[in-house]
């Protein structure tokens, strides 16, 4: 067993450094334990270890970002580990208890996520790994490239998907970029021949998406100017300055449209100075929280009216009515209310309320943090995969089981429908358009029971129509 552990560590180091190795090269098949014939790292006859990565939010608070009191590292981790607790209380899965190994990184210092990769693959290796949102795609790829089954709630580049070990809710940054530009062109959001600016970062997901978007726009006859912000080093001040400078870059290029491929945490300076230019904004869902309720609430008012093309859904319909939840979403909400009652003073979760918040609605009623959809969607996939893999559990048998799950529910996304099949590395099946809509605090409830078509008096995404389009590569 010592030889097997050493070999696994060597493979993990090589793959983490190169980030180019594929499934065959980065899968240790010589672990030699009760699973037999495959990698059983993190597995015993009675337990299986799953890494759960969450943000250490102290860094964001220290950087001046206002976060809700209930948005803590511990609360973020229990959104996933509480599912493990439920499975264990019911007897475990195929006789094994599921042990969550919580790992953290500082989002203000993205490079600290390298330690998460090192821990998950070398220092305290786990059988599988989950991050529901926020972790940089570079480090997600680091873990997947080392042959660890990896489950991710945000967007990663195609190179991470090509490892064969990644399962995300959303397709790759390249597919999202291609779909977004195609939809924007077809709908008339970006006219043929118009001058277009692309606001991007330098993470692998940004670079990959920008290359695809630029090529698609140039094929449409558009003149493209790219402004890139340094997102890898994570300094909020530098990001603010560099994103603000993009405004002058785009003015000099006399752009009519701006394609935004940069998350709100790195684009504040741009939005502070973007108003009054008459630009149309097209958001590409290619980075953390781009087109989610939290991202909508966090964007500056100058972004209102921008359209995002995304697999992620909304709490209202395009008519501005509250959307009826699916049975799966109701189960997700019930679970979240059970584990978080003490965090929000007994106030149950409310559709559209950003993560961790408790607020007083215009009519005086209390509302608290919406149930997190990614945690529920991914935990369900992991559970079903473990069950299907059976008692002889290896990483290989587990991934084969996951890819064979067929139809799957998706909470708040993909028209509620997803799937897994051989060669399909993401869960969502459908994409749609969302418009950023203003609903300042105090906005009155309308006849539909919403707030300027938002589920609460908070800036939100509203579907542009009722159509969900199949994702095409």
Whether residue 243 lies inside any domain: the answer is yes
Please tell me which residue, 373 or 64, carries the higher pLDDT value: 373
Identify whether the C-beta of residue 168 lies closer than 8 Å to the C-beta of residue 152.
yes
Is the same domain home to 161 and 210? no
40 is written with which tokens?
């059983």
Find the mean pLDDT for residues 244-264: 97
Is the same domain home to 133 and 155? yes
pLDDT of residue 235: 84
Q: Rounded to whole angstroms, how far apart are CA atoms 148 and 160?
A: 12
Indicate the pLDDT class of residue 2, thresholds 50, 70 and 90: very low
Find the mean pLDDT for residues 396-402: 98
Is the same domain home to 200 and 121? no
pLDDT higher than 90, residue 110: no
Is the same domain home to 185 and 163? no
Which of 250, 277, 310 is the endpoint of a domain? Answer: 310
Which of 171, 205, 239 is the endpoint of a domain? Answer: 171
**Per residue in 304-359, pLDDT tens?**
999 999 999 999 999 999 999 999 999 999 999 999 989 998 999 999 998 888 99
**Per residue in 195-238, pLDDT tens?**
999 999 999 999 999 999 999 999 999 999 999 999 988 788 89
Whether residue 372 lies inside any domain: the answer is no
Query: Residue 200: which of 271, 132, 263 has the closest Cα?
Result: 263
pLDDT of residue 233: 81
**Per residue in 262-276, pLDDT tens?**
999 899 999 999 999
Sole residue written with tokens 């938002």: 454
pLDDT of residue 14: 41
Find the mean pLDDT for residues 457-466: 95
Per cent of the chain over pLDDT 70 is 92
Is the same domain home to 291 and 185? yes
Find the mean pLDDT for residues 406-420: 98
pLDDT of residue 68: 81
Identify whether the C-beta of residue 360 lies closer than 8 Å to the C-beta of residue 112.
no
Is the same domain home to 43 and 124? yes
Positive or negative torsion for Cα 373, 326, 90, 399: negative
What does DSSP say about strands 150-152 and 195-201: parallel, antiparallel, or unpaired? unpaired
pLDDT of residue 6: 34
Whether residue 44 lies inside any domain: the answer is yes
pLDDT of residue 21: 37
370 is written with which tokens?
């919406």
Give the residue numbers spanning the domain of 184: 173-310
pTM over 0.75: yes
pLDDT higher than 80, residue 91: yes
Which of 171, 199, 221 is the endpoint of a domain? Answer: 171
Per-residue CA distances from 44 to 48, 97, 142, 381, 402 (Å): 6, 10, 25, 21, 20
The pairs formed by 63-70 with CB atoms below 8 angstroms and a separation of 24 or more are: 63/108, 63/236, 64/236, 65/236, 65/265, 67/356, 68/354, 68/355, 68/356, 68/357, 68/358, 68/369, 69/356, 70/340, 70/343, 70/344, 70/356, 70/357, 70/358, 70/368, 70/369
pLDDT of residue 36: 52
pLDDT of residue 234: 77
Is the same domain home to 145 and 270? no
Q: Rounded to whole angstroms, how far apart are CA atoms 318 and 454?
A: 10
Q: Rounded to whole angstroms, how far apart are CA atoms 198 and 182?
A: 15
CATH number of residue 14's parent domain: 3.40.50
Please tell me which residue, 304 or 11, carries the higher pLDDT value: 304
The residues, any chain, with a CB within 8 Å of residue 129's CB and separated by 6 or more, are 50, 51, 52, 53, 120, 143, 148, 149, 150, 151
Is the same domain home to 154 and 206? no
Whether residue 201 lies inside any domain: the answer is yes
Is the same domain home to 10 and 100? yes
Query: Residue 469: which of 271, 190, 99, 179 has the closest Cα?
Result: 179
DSSP string over 414-471 = GGGEEEE-TT--B-B-EEEEEEEE---TTPPP-TTSSBTTBSSSS-EEEESSS--EEP
Is the same domain home to 32 and 78? yes
Whether residue 415 lies inside any domain: the answer is no
Identify whether the C-beta of residue 461 lies closer than 8 Å to the C-beta of residue 437.
yes
Positive or negative torsion for Cα 315, 261, 55, 269: negative
Indicate the pLDDT class of residue 109, thresholds 50, 70 and 90: confident
Indicate the pLDDT class of residue 25, thresholds 50, 70 and 90: very low
Is the same domain home to 167 and 177? no
């Amino acid at each position: 067993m010592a030889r097997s552990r050493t070999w696994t560590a060597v493979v993990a180091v090589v793959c983490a450094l190169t980030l180019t190795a594929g499934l065959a090269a980065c899968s240790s098949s010589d672990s030699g334990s009760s699973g037999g014939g495959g990698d059983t790292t993190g597995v015993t006859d009675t337990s299986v270890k799953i890494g759960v990565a969450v943000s250490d939010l102290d860094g964001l608070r220290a950087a001046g970002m206002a976060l809700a009191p209930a948005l803590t590292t511990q609360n973020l981790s229990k959104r996933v580990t509480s599912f493990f607790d439920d499975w264990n209380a019911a007897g475990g899965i195929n006789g094994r208890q599921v042990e969550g190994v919580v790992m953290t990184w500082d989002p203000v210092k993205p490079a600290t996520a390298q330690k998460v990769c090192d821990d998950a693959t070398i220092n305290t290796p786990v059988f599988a790994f989950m991050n529901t949102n926020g972790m940089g795609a570079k480090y997600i790829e680091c873990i997947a490239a080392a042959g660890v089954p990896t489950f991710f709630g945000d967007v990663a580049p195609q190179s991470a998907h090509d490892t064969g070990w990644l399962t995300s809710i959303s397709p790759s940054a390249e597919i999202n970029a291609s779909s977004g530009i195609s939809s924007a062109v077809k709908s008339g959001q970006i006219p043929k021949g118009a001058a277009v600016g692309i606001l991007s970062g330098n993470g692998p997901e940004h670079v990959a998406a920008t290359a695809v978007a630029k090529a698609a726009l140039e094929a449409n006859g558009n003149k493209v100017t790219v402004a890139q912000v340094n997102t890898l080093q994570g300094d909020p001040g530098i990001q603010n300055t560099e994103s603000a400078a993009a405004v002058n870059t785009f003015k000099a290029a006399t752009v009519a449209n701006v394609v935004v491929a940069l998350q709100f945490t790195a684009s504040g300076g741009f939005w502070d100075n973007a108003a009054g230019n008459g630009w149309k904004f097209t958001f590409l869902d290619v980075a953390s929280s781009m087109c989610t309720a939290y991202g909508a609430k966090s964007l500056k008012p100058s972004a209102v009216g921008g359209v995002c093309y995304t697999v992620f859904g909304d709490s209202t319909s395009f008519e501005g009515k509250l959307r009826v939840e699916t049975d799966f979403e109701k189960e997700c909400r019930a679970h979240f209310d059970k584990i978080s009652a003490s965090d929000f003073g007994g106030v149950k979760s409310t559709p559209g309320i950003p993560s961790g918040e408790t607020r007083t609605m215009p009519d005086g009623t209390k509302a608290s943090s919406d149930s997190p959809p990614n945690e529920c969607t991914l935990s369900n996939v992991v559970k079903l995969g473990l069950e299907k893999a059976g008692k002889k559990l290896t990483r290989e048998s587990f991934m084969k089981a996951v890819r064979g799950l067929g139809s799957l529910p998706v909470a708040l996304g993909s028209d509620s429908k997803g799937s897994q099949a051989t060669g399909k590395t993401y869960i969502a099946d459908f994409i749609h358009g969302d418009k950023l809509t203003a609903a300042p605090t105090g906005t009155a409830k309308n006849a539909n029971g919403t707030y300027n078509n938002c589920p609460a008096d908070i800036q939100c995404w509203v579907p542009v129509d009722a159509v969900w389009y199949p994702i095409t590569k």
